[in-house]
Amino acid sequence: MESLRTMWKKEGARFLRFGIVTGLAYGIYIVLYVLLARTIWPQGSHTIHVIIATLIGDLFNFIANRQWAFQARDGSMAHQFGKFFLVVGSSFLLQTGLFYLATHAWPRHDLVFALVLPLLRAMYNYLFHRAYTFRRAV
């Protein structure tokens, strides 16, 4: 049985890798959102911008989390993909719903909500990926 110190060390390393992957996915999301909302399609719906940016960032997130953060290469990719998108889908609906409500209440602050809500989503995702999506690898 592993010592508590060893378990914390492994979990800390996994959390750090997850943070790096999530930070990169977040960067992809922000760049895409800003490009869509401010340059490519400024007259478009900000909610649609968030959806497009989130889906592309999440695809990167799955591949990088599976390969590096959770090192879950031995499980069925299709099975993990299904679990991943169940978790990500629920957090996506939560994030998008909150974004929609917040930007309709305070429309001039869309960028603030576009920056803050994904951070809350990342915490939610780590907990569920750790306990559900990549459980066998952990």
pLDDT digits (tens, 9 = 90+) for 71-97: 888 778 889 999 998 999 999 899 989
pTM: 0.74
Average pLDDT for 37-43: 95
Q: Where do runs of H (alpha helix) occur along 44-76?
A: 46-64
Distance between CA atoms of residues 125 and 114, nearest Å: 17
Q: Is 111 exposed, middle or buried (0-12, 13-18, 19+ CB in 10 A)?
A: middle
Average pLDDT for 9-35: 92
Q: Is the pLDDT confidence value at 105 over 60?
A: yes
pLDDT digits (tens, 9 = 90+) for 114-124: 888 888 888 89
Which DSSP state fits 75? S
